[in-house]
Amino acid sequence: MRNKHLLSIAVLFVLFTSFFPSKPLATSWAFQFVVWQGYIYVVSNEYVTEIDSEIGQVTKYSDMESYSGNFSNTFKKGTKYYSIKGISTDEAILLKNLMVDI
């Protein structure tokens, strides 16, 4: 009788863990990015000589899901976006977290 109970518990445990995994099923991002005005910008480290003006900020951060708006899978909510003098925002923007004081 005791073996039947242990077997039942083991079967229930296996069924429960298959339907409710212990780790969330996260999206695996291929690259770090930010979204501004519908454009997706892949994060890179490049030297910028002249900042133009502040154009926005990250309004939603998640490394699990995708959202609309000014979203990032890397930078926290509130990270500032800047335009770069001489470069269209269609091509690139600058994030405050990437600026380095020299």
* Residue 15 resides in a domain: no
* Residue 16 resides in a domain: no
* Residue 91 resides in a domain: yes
* Residue 80 resides in a domain: yes
Total domain count, the chain: 1
- Average pLDDT, integer, range 13-33: 56
Q: Which domain holds residue 80?
A: 27-98
Is the entire prediction scored with pTM above 0.85? no
Residue 7: predicted pLDDT? 58
Which residues, at least 6 apart from 56, have a Cβ–Cβ distance to it below 8 Å? 36, 37, 70, 80, 81
Residue 25 has pLDDT above 50, yes or no: no
Residues 75-101: pLDDT tens digits?
Answer: 888 989 999 999 999 889 998 754 444
* Residue 4 resides in a domain: no
Residues 40-56: pLDDT tens digits?
Answer: 888 888 888 889 999 99
